Amino acid sequence: MSTPTLQIRSGHPDFLDLPWELPINEWANERLVTMPTGIHRHPVRFVAYEEGVYAIKELSRRTAETEYRVLRALEDRSNRTAEAAGLVERGWLDPHDEGAGVLITKYVDHAFPYRRLVSGAGFGSRRRHMSDALAGLFVELHMAGCYWGDCSLSNVLYRFDAGQIEAIMIDGETSELHDSLSEGQRAQDIEIMMENVAGEMSDVAAENGEDIDSADIGLGVDIANRYEALWAELTEELVITRNDVYRIRKRIARINELGFSVEDIDITPAGDGNHVRMITNLGGRTYNSDALRERTGIEASENQARLILSDLNYHLAKQGDITATGKAVGTFKWLSQYYEPLTARISREWGGEDPVQGYCDYLNHRVELASQRQRDVDSFEAYDDWVDSGYPGFDPEKS
């Protein structure tokens, strides 16, 4: 039996019980599972362990090594990429052969491929959310110095994020990491994305028996336009007078609202000396999810975290204690009296996959219920009404 070389990261299985001597398409292992996924140019199988589900992808050795290195490096710059769990080298094969290298990544929980959002030849009411998600991911990666090289709808998985959609890069075979990207690199990456998306939407139309003219060819252009608008807003240089420092706070608040953290600010003299130029150096798009994790230990996507933090702050405001100790005690009470009991009920009763998303659906229902009744609604009263109403989620047309 041929034995491969395995490089496995801590916290993951050792994968030694898999039949590495065989191509993965010939595996008949009991760990194999079927998962929602996009279209892959290389063989991909999924295996289940106690630690979770993992994607096994066969590549040439160099391509596998490159993608493994890129995904590991991106973990420090973004949380919207697949988590690299291991690298396998089949030393008995030619390094250029497909299968000489194997990349193991953790499957993205509660995720689905873009075709779940397709309605007919194009997208339904989630089209705008889809465009925003991919544009936001593209901006985040470019901010991190990542040239994707092959962005497409199939190279991304999606998951519901409160009333929006989150996009996660799962394929980085062609990616390159730089300190920063030039205008030319960004433009080329966007051009590749638009071509790929146009081709994918044409394929969707053809598969549905639709005329090519009905294909949503403009989706890629819409994503590019949203990308450019977000990039411009995040990279804008602000020139202000020395007396307009409130605009700095306003600028930081807006960046945080978009989900990005601010690592530091460069302020330099500008013009006649009465003005200063402000340049913000951004961190990852994890402002709210980081804040929620730090305050409560809850792991959530960015928009989920924004909504849950609002719920926490609502309960703290009702409590009225603004001291650090009061907030800490109030947070513990919120967790033990509201969040944990309700998410436990959601896990038992709801029927959805992600209880955090279910909690966000419930919070959205509570807000709408309070608006209808023109009064504050008790959390458990609102939950019971959510259940009685059939667990409604977010209306894509309103969110």
CA dihedral 97, 98, 99, 103 (to 10 degrees): 120
Q: How far apart are the first and last CA of the chain?
A: 55
Note if the pTM is more than 0.85. yes
How confident is residue 3, by pLDDT bands cut at 50, 70 and 90? confident
Q: Mind listing the pLDDT tens digit for each residue in 251-283?
A: 888 888 888 888 888 888 877 777 888 888 887
Checking phi first, is residue 394 left (phi over 0); if not, alpha (psi -120 to 50) or beta?
beta
Pick the closest to residue 122 from 38, 62, 58, 208 (CA basis): 208
* Residue owning tokens 């799962």: 170
Mean pLDDT along residues 393-398: 84
Lowest mean pLDDT among 113-122, 130-139, 260-269: 113-122
pLDDT at 204: 86
Least confident of 81-95, 120-134, 191-205, 282-296: 120-134
Encoded amino acid at 156, one letter: V
Residue 106 pLDDT greater than 80, yes or no = yes
Q: Quick one: pLDDT at residue 209?
A: 83
Instruction: Note the pLDDT of residue 281.
Output: 82
Instruction: Tell me which of 322 and 249 has the higher pLDDT.
Output: 249
In this prediction, residue 249 carries a pLDDT of 81
| pLDDT (0 to 100) of residue 319 | 78
* C-alpha distances out from residue 373 to 31, 317, 383, Å: 51, 21, 15
* Band of pLDDT at residue 63, cut at 50, 70 and 90: very high
The mean pLDDT value for 316-325 works out to 79
335 φ/ψ angles, rounded to the nearest 5 degrees = -60, -50
253 class by beta-carbon count within 10 Å (0-12 exposed, 13-18 middle, 19+ buried): exposed
Task: For residues 36-40, give the mean pLDDT.
Answer: 76
For the stretch 182-206, pLDDT in tens is 999 999 999 999 999 999 999 888 8
Write the DSSP symbol of residue 353.
S
| pLDDT value, residue 79 | 81
Q: Is the pLDDT at 121 greater than 70, yes or no?
A: no
Q: How confident is the model at residue 207 (pLDDT cuts 50, 70, 90)?
A: confident
What is the H or E stretch that residue 66 is in? helix 61-74
pLDDT at 1: 57
pLDDT range class, residue 180, cuts 50, 70, 90: very high
Average pLDDT along the chain: 90
Alpha-carbon Rg for the chain, nearest whole angstrom, is 23
- pLDDT of residue 305 exceeding 90, the answer is yes
Name the percent of the chain lying above pLDDT 70. 98
Average of per-residue pLDDT across 364-373: 92
Tell me how far apart the alpha carbons of residues 86 and 60 are, in angstroms, rounded to a whole number.
Answer: 15
β-strand partners of 156: 169
The whole-angstrom separation of Cα 310 and Cα 222 is 31
pLDDT at 90 over 90: yes
Residue 68 CA to residue 200 CA, distance in Å, equals: 26
pLDDT higher at 276 or 349 = 349
Does residue 119 have a pLDDT over 70? no
pLDDT at position 327 is: 87
Worst-scoring range by mean pLDDT, 175-184, 243-252, 332-341, 348-357? 243-252
Confidence category of residue 224, pLDDT binned at 50, 70, 90:
very high
Mean pLDDT of 110-128: 80
Q: Report the residue count for the chain.
A: 399
Helix (H, G, I), strand (E, B) or coil at 214: helix
